[in-house]
């Protein structure tokens, strides 16, 4: 996908400008980024619904109001994304989007009759579809970056420094924000859901222990990929997404969550942590890390807008 983005950036824009479709293409890119932004909100709210509904199925009714709240928020986001998509000429792949809508409708209708693990796995399937859709759209979201190249951009020196990073860095930021980060957030959110469920139950069985071990190992790989990819970014690109260097400097919060799960949840005896406690702590971390997606999408939008002024 990355090589595909690199190959298509430039040639697609050149053809578009030459054919006189610049305004249409410009709006298409802005709409794509708006949809991607809302899709990121959608999968994070669905992650919350997974964790809270697992707790309810396990018997903790304190999570019931949040389940209802998440269902309302998710439905609003689905309506908004569908509306934006229709107004923008259906930029989102219709078949994939309709599959997500139908799966969510089925989940809402039937989740109370599922086992906790069946509920967990069905949420995983829906969220995976959302994350994959974001990445499918990413190839179409970066084309206008090539219009910047080394051309002067009206405005302050600070704005120029933020926007005039290389095409290679644009591709790396797309990979970090729209591929690596959603996958990493999903790993953290799965740990949150399973840890909340285990805390509500009061114990961690062998199956849960195995799931925790796999997810913790995957999360370590996520963190390493993020570090390695981020090292290749220019200073200007890091300035454009300020939450990224901030996250790299404060990884200890995520390390603490991993240690908490290993020492307080993956235990042989009774778990003393409360479900609401572990859910809230993990949610705060997800909120901080997800800022990278928001910052990156805003930066991509700025690059598209300033391309008009070159």
Name the more confident of 228 and 158: 228
In a domain, 156, yes or no: yes
Instruction: Write down the pLDDT at residue 189.
Output: 98
Q: For 32-74, how does the pLDDT look when each residue is reduced to its tens digit (9 = 90+)?
A: 899 999 999 999 999 999 999 999 999 999 999 999 999 999 9
Closest CA to 176 of 82, 248, 253: 248
Give the sign of the dihedral formed by CA 116, CA 121, CA 126, CA 130.
Answer: positive
Please tell me which residue, 243 or 157, carries the higher pLDDT value. 243
Q: Which residue has the higher pLDDT, 142 or 173?
A: 173
Is residue 2 in some structural domain?
A: no
For range 147-156, the mean pLDDT: 39
pLDDT over 70, % of the chain: 82
Say whether pLDDT at 85 is over 90: no
**Does the residue 93 lie in any domain?**
yes
Query: Model confidence over 102-116: pLDDT tens digits?
Result: 999 999 999 999 999
With cut-offs at 50, 70 and 90, classify the pLDDT of residue 247.
confident
Structural domain span for residue 99:
21-307
**The predicted structure's pLDDT at residue 143:** 53
Degrees, nearest 5: CA angle 213-217-221: 165
How many structural domains does the chain have?
Answer: 1
> Would 71 be classed as within a structural domain?
yes
Question: pLDDT tier at 153 (50, 70, 90 boundaries)?
Answer: very low
User: Looking at the domain assignment, is residue 270 inside a domain?
Assistant: yes
CB 236 within 8 A of CB 161: yes
- DSSP 8-state secondary structure symbol assigned to residue 91: -
pLDDT tens track for 205-217: 999 999 999 999 9
Taking the C-alpha atoms of residue 262 and residue 44, their distance in angstroms, rounded to an integer, is 24
Domain presence at residue 15: no
Confidence at residue 49, expressed as pLDDT on a 0 to 100 scale: 98
Instruction: Decide: helix, strand or coil at residue 274.
Output: coil
d(CA 149, CA 10): 10
Q: Which residue has the higher pLDDT, 279 or 143?
A: 279
Domain for residue 7, yes or no? no
Whether 278 shows a pLDDT value over 80: the answer reads yes
Higher pLDDT pick, 147 / 244 = 244
Confirm if 142 and 301 have CB atoms less than 8 A apart.
no
Report yes or no on 8 lying in a domain.
no
Structure-token match 């020492």, residue found: 263
Tell me the per-residue pLDDT of 163-199, one tens digit each, with 9 for 90 and over.
446 677 888 898 999 999 999 999 999 999 999 999 9
């Amino acid at each position: 996908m990355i090589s595909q983005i690199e190959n298509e950036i430039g040639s697609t824009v050149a053809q578009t400008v030459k054919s006189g479709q610049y305004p249409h293409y410009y709006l298409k890119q802005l709409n794509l980024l708006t949809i991607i932004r809302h899709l990121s909100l959608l999968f994070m709210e669905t992650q919350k619904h997974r964790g809270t509904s697992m707790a309810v199925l396990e018997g903790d009714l304190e999570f019931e109001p949040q389940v209802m709240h998440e269902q309302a928020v998710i439905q609003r986001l689905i309506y908004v994304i569908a509306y934006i998509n229709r107004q923008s000429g259906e930029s989102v792949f219709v078949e994939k989007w309709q599959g997500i809508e139908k799966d969510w409708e089925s989940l809402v209708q039937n989740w109370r009759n599922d086992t906790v693990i069946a509920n967990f796995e069905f949420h995983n399937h829906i969220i995976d579809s959302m994350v994959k859709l974001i990445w499918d759209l990413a190839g179409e979201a970066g084309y206008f970056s090539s219009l910047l190249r080394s051309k002067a951009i009206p405005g302050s020196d600070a704005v120029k420094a933020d926007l005039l990073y290389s095409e290679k860095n644009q591709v790396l930021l797309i990979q970090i924000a729209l591929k690596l980060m959603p996958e990493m957030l999903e790993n953290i959110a799965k740990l949150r859901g399973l840890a909340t469920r285990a805390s509500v139950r009061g114990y961690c069985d062998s199956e849960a222990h195995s799931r925790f071990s796999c997810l913790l190992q995957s999360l370590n790989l996520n963190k390493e990929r993020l570090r390695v990819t981020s090292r290749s970014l220019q200073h200007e690109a890091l300035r454009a997404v300020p939450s990224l260097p901030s996250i790299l400097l404060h990884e200890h919060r995520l390390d603490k969550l991993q240690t908490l799960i290993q020492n307080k949840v993956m235990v042989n005896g009774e778990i003393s942590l409360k479900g609401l406690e572990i859910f809230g702590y993990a949610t705060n971390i997800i909120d901080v890390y997800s800022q990278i997606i928001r910052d990156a999408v805003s930066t991509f939008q700025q690059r598209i807008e300033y391309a008009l002024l070159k």
